[in-house]
Structure 1
Amino acid sequence: MRFDRSDGVFCHVTSLPGPHGIGDLGRGAETFLSFLETADVDYWQVCPLGPTIGAAGDSPYQSPSAFAGNPLFIDLHGLVEEGWLEPAALEPVPSFPRDRVDYEAVREYTHPRLRSAFERFDATADAAATLDDFREREPWVDDYALFRALSAARPEDTWVEWPAPLRTRDPEALDAARESHATEIRYRTFLQWVFDRQWTALRERAAAAGVEIVGDVPIYVALDSADVWASPSAFRLDAENRPTVVAGVPPNRGDDGQRWGNPVYDWDHLADTGFDWWLDRFRRLFELADVVRLDHVLGFVRYWAIPAAADDPAAGEWCDGPGRTLFDAVEREFGDVPFIAEDLGFEDRRMEDLLTAFEIPGMRVPQYANWAEAGNPYQPMHYPEQVVGYTSTHDTDTWVGYYEDLPESQRDALHYNLGVGDRPIEWAIIDEVWGSEAILAMTTVQDLLGLGSEARLNEPGTVAGNWEWRVSSEALSDELAARLREVGAFHVR
């Protein structure tokens, strides 16, 4: 086992409390860490930490970089403390909604202040050396900063629509772009240095509180990303660096499949290079997190490749992924690393063998259960030890929202199976997941608070209204923490 029996709470950074319209790495994060410490919780799980784009609904799973951090998470008060902003520069603070993120308003407020902080930093004597040291330590940042500078100069285009010399990375065109966009490149590098500095300090505070971070790695990256533009040979692209096939899932009974549109990997080329691109990605992830959740782990075993010119997911075909050869390389490089596998929705013997071979726990979510079926594997009382049990995830409804939509027959069976009694329904499922054999028990802040569907974080297949929910500092009370600590003391410790 790579985990001791333990528990955790999911809360993405955007959902944290804070004064500037979105969760950040400052006082709101410290409030949440204090809550976890009081609750004696072992893990804090987050979504991917990368920059988000309004055109992609601010999904952290459609980021322009798998390596960078989100500048909207930077604590502006921290910039004041560094001397790069005057306190008055933070005023006036707009009347941001406390329970949701208004991304457009947050960007309108935050971006000018980040620019101002950069300008003051850039005028200091050691600015160049500081950024050079960061660039040497994080070599991905050069291509990322150039990519974001070029994207800012052509906001209506994705990189696949750039002029051919830039799209195909002609060295002379890149040198000219670095010269003409030098200030913007330094600005984008500065933002990543500040994010890295603040996140590292937050991780140190988490470690002091006995809390480890569970990060998240989407298997696929966005097409319009520095990742694909900077490393085209890692993906199945044509001579013009445009995708030949894209990712998705095939039609199943009752649906037409999905065409996600992400470029897929050239696993043969990656294997020939010793999986260097993926090792670099995991290296960065383990700088940011203690444990990594592998999103859509099936894709490492087999993946559905749809011709880029086809709109119908049914036009795709199954292709073999790298399987254990990738994870052998990861183990050689990093040793016995802690992963969690998102293995929901598909049954595949090779995937199960992979998880068993590397002792990677899969996931169980009770919202997938048939409560009237004896022995259903998603009922908490049937969880095996080598899984992570969740009450809900970022992609599901809240537990209360799910419960309120259950047919009466399923609700009656749930009551019988869980022995709900007079317990609030959200604490009934927390008790059951914590009391299961799962090696790690996880819940969400929304479920701790007994919130309904209005607090759902994301609804897959939709764009508007996701990734917006936030918690207040007042809701993270000592009483709530004490109740969770009591559950953990009874079932886990």
Structure 2
Amino acid sequence: MTLQTQASLLNQRQAGVLLHISSLPSAFYTGDLGVESYRFVDFLNEIGAKVWQTLPINMPHADNSPYQCLSAHAGNPDFISLESLQAQGLLTKEDCAGLITSKLDLLNQAYLNFSQQSQNLPEYKKLHQAFTRFCKKQASWLDDFSLFLALRHHFNQAGWNHWPEPYKNRDKKTLKQVQVELAHEIAVVKFTQFVFFSQWIALKAYAAEKKIALFGDIPIFVAYDSADVWAHSDLFKLNADKTVSVVAGVPPDYFSETGQRWGNPHYNWDAMQRDGFAWWISRMATQSELFDIVRIDHFRGLEAAWEIPATEDTAINGEWVLAPGDALLAAIKQALPEINLVAEDLGIITIEVDALRKKYHLPGMKILQFAFSGASDNPYLPENISENSVVYTGTHDNDTTLSWYSNLDDYQRGNLHGYIAATHSEDYAPNMPNDLIDMALETKALLAIVPMQDILQLNGHHRMNTPGTISGNWHWRFSWQQLTPQQKNSIRVAIARTGR
């Protein structure tokens, strides 16, 4: 059974849960695509949810931020299930007995076992053929990425801009030679990606059987230290020596006097337009293969982006530079007509950004934690939320609803209580986070998403990310012991009661 397609996937009233793969229960240091991911799909099915939203699943840098990755395509090897590899015969119990502690070492061992298997045996012949097909199909990014990662390892994880000039500048003779010298390392990277994609596609197929859509996320910009910038430097605004000339961020606002300086390179839109946005279309094709719905983070950057001179330490001194979002979205829709996109349009959004989103009928995002400022025109108030929206209690960047509620000032708490009282009896005592979950599910928004932390009624110690901080993020995981029968029944009843 397959999921319903473009015509109805984002045009029906439904509910979902936000939980990153890393937050799944696991015996290892991070969640993965093993049995617990299938158990989570079963949980979604049992409560009547139809959507599982994750954060970006690409391979991150050492800080584990899914929004600063080594590739716009490659999956995170940490999410590979070692138990699944054992079930395939690609790892033995002895391999996993503890002599090799690193997952990357175990993946290297899995490749050795794979390469030594007799291709005359039917089950292994089929696997070898699948690997060959994968490498051919994904060659447009996989060849560069595998070489990039092998070189990065060769140069002690240094960023590509610190490599010797022939490697940094992709000298053809040098790269041809190193492809021979690092042939094994390159093959291991390709095999690792083959395993990741295979396990992900298997999970996606299982979710589809349960009528669960996978909802992914992509950062609008890519990391400077990535295979994409190294292999396609002409598509980014770089200096002659390939250092960044301008970097991305957002200007000063209510939340930050100095703005946010993200450091990502900006796109050379003129160069991208000349080849019909081929890089973007390739990127979105990969995401469309992995997900049923894709969120574009910082969507406003497709209309205009804040460019900060790379020499500036803060985001104060920058300027808005127009981007060809209309032409880009038209090209993506033409190449991938079935793709389902959602626009992250939080913050200060201009008329032009809103018009661009509406032209392509993309749902925007509404966060109830932002709703109770007291202004009647607050776009996050329940009555101001339109059908073509994805409503959340909070996102991965927000505090948990329980913690948010406990830290509200008296004025906002009073506004919130007023909304709750309007739909309950006078003596009703507010019940957080359930009241905000109910409020989200009751809105007109066709899709309502609840973070798993709110279903579990967890406090701020379980927050996924605190924007503007560089440590202590992306580590949260849950355990099934935290989920009580009452919590499970509460969200199931709420989803059913609100016609989702």
Quick check: TM above 0.5? yes
Q: Which residue, 441, 446, 449 being the options, matches 1:439?
A: 446
1:99 corresponds in structure 2 to none
The alignment partner of 2:95 has SS state of: helix
Judge conservation of contact 1:246–1:307 (CA < 8 Å) in 2: yes
Change (3 A) 1:223 1:404: same
Matches of 1:110 and 1:397, distance apart in 2: 31
1:465 aligns with 2:435: no
Q: Aligned ranges for residues 253-268 of structure 1 at < 5 Å?
A: 255-268=257-270
Aligned equivalent of 2:54, options 31, 36, 46? 46
Instruction: Quote how far apart the aligned CAs of 1:154 are.
Output: 1.1
Question: Cα distance, 1:310 vs. partner?
Answer: 2.6
* Corresponding position: 1:148 with 2:156: no
Which amino acid in the other structure matches residue 162 of structure 2?
E
**In structure 1, what is the Cα distance between the partners aligned to 2:375 and 2:234?**
48
Relative to 1, partners in 2 of residues 1:155 and 1:3: Cα closer, same or farther, differing over 3 Å?
farther
1:164-186 Cα offsets, whole Å, 9 max, x none, are 11111111111111111111001
Amino acid at match of 1:60: P
1:476, distance to aligned residue in structure 2 (A): 4.3
Q: Distance in 1 between matches of 2:386 and 2:144?
A: 44
CA distance in 1 between counterparts of 2:338 and 2:29 reads 39
For residues 476 and 450 of structure 1, what CA distance do their matches in structure 2 show? Answer: 9
Give the corresponding residue for 1:474. 481
| Cross-structure match for 2:350 | 348
Instruction: Please tell me the residue identity of whatever aligns with 1:293.
Output: R
Q: Does the residue aligned with 1:216 lie in a helix, a strand or coil?
A: strand
- Superposition deviation, residue 230 in structure 1: 1.1
Conserved in 1, the CA contact under 8 Å of 2:288 and 2:339?
Answer: no
Determine which of 29, 48, 71 is the counterpart of 2:37. 29
Are 1:414 and 2:455 matched, yes or no? no
The letter of the residue matching 1:6 is: Q
SS in 1 for 2:316: helix
Aligned residue pair count: 478
TM superposition shift of 1:19 = 2.0
Contact 2:417 2:430 in 1 (8 A): no
Helix, strand or coil: the match of 1:466? coil
Equivalent residues in 2 for 1:90-489 (5 A)? 90-92=96-98, 108-126=101-119, 130-139=130-139, 140-252=141-253, 255-419=257-421, 421-422=428-429, 424-476=431-483, 479-489=486-496
Matching residue of 1:98: none
Q: Among 23, 27, 35, which residue is 1:19 paired with?
A: 27
**Alignment-mate amino acid for residue 323 of structure 1:** G
1:38–1:482 contact (8 Å) kept in structure 2: no
Query: 2:26 corresponds to which letter in structure 1?
Result: G
What corresponds to 2:70 in structure 1? 64
Q: CA deviation at 1:478?
A: 5.4
- Offset at 1:409? 2.3
AA at the equivalent of 2:445: A
Give the CA deviation at 1:371.
4.2
- Is 2:250–2:260's contact at 8 Å kept on the other side of the alignment? yes
Report how far residue 155 of structure 1 moved.
Answer: 2.1
Shift of 1:381: 3.3
Q: Distance in 2 between matches of 1:476 and 1:199?
A: 25
Is this contact kept in 2: 1:69–1:196, CA < 8 A? yes
The farther-off stretch of 121-130 and 175-184 is 121-130
CA contact 2:247–2:309 (8 Å) conserved in 1: yes
Amino acid corresponding to residue 54 of structure 2 in structure 1: V
| Alpha-carbon distance between aligned partners in 1 of 2:35 and 2:20, rounded to the nearest angstrom | 15
Q: What is the rounded CA distance, in whole Å, between the counterparts of 2:394 and 2:360 in structure 1?
A: 25
For 1:372, the aligned partner's letter is: G
Offset at 1:129? 5.2
- Per-residue CA shift, 1:266-324, capped at 9, x if unaligned? 11111111000000000000011000001000000001111222324233221111121
Q: What RMSD in Å do the two structures reach over aligned CA positions?
A: 1.8
Which AA in structure 1 matches 2:36?
G
- Shifted more, 265-274 versus 303-312: the winner is 303-312
1:133 CA drift (Å): 2.1
Structure 2 distance, partners of 1:377, 1:489, is 26
In structure 2, distance between residues paired with 1:123 and 1:480: 49
Instruction: Please say if residues 167 and 174 of structure 2, whose CA atoms lie closer than 8 Å, have aligned partners that are also in contact.
Output: yes
Moved more, 157-166 or 249-258: 249-258
Aligned equivalents of 1:17 and 1:252: distance in 2? 38
1:10 is aligned to 2:3: no
* AA in 2 matched with 1:63: C
Q: What is the distance in 2 between the residues matched to 1:317 and 1:375?
A: 28
Separation (CA, whole Å) in 1 of partners of 2:47 and 2:387:
23
Deviations 1:53-111 (A, max 9, x none): 22xx2101111011011111111111111112112433359xxxxxxxxxxxxx95422
Q: Tell me, which stretches of 5 or more residues in structure 2 are unaligned?
A: 1-7, 120-126
Please tell me whether the aligned partners of residues 400 and 453 of structure 1 are also in contact (alpha carbons under 8 angstroms).
yes
Give, in whole Å, the separation in 1 of the partners of 2:447 and 2:405: 23
Partners of 1:92 and 1:168 in 2: CA distance? 40
Task: Give the distance between the partners of 1:344 and 1:108, measured in 2 at CA.
Answer: 42
Q: Secondary structure at the match of 2:184?
A: helix
Change (3 A) 1:373 1:310: closer
Q: Distance in 1 between matches of 2:216 and 2:456?
A: 23
Which string of whole-angstrom CA distances, capped at 9 and with x for unpartnered residues, describes residues 339-393 of structure 1? 1111111221111001111111111101112343334321223312221110110
- 8 Å Cα contact 1:371-1:379 kept in structure 2: no
1:17-59 Cα shifts (integer Å, max 9, x gaps): 12223111011101111100101111000001111222xx210
* 431-440 or 303-312, which deviates more: 303-312
Q: Is the 8 A contact 2:51 2:215 kept in 1?
A: yes
> Displacement of 1:128 after TM fit?
6.6
Maintained 8 Å contact 1:35/1:476: no
User: 1: CA distance between counterparts of 2:345 and 2:373?
Assistant: 20
8 Å CA contact retained: 1:36, 1:481: no
Alignment gaps of 5+ in structure 1 = 94-106
1:371·1:417 contact (CA, 8 Å) conserved in 2? no
Residues 328 and 281 of structure 1: CA distance in aligned 2, closer, same or farther (over 3 Å): same
Change (3 A) 1:172 1:125: farther
Sequence identity percentage = 37
User: Does the residue aligned with 1:318 lie in a helix, a strand or coil?
Assistant: strand
Q: Is contact 2:161–2:242 with CA below 8 Å preserved after alignment?
A: yes
Mark the CA change 1:87 to 1:473 in structure 2 (over 3 Å): closer, same or farther. farther
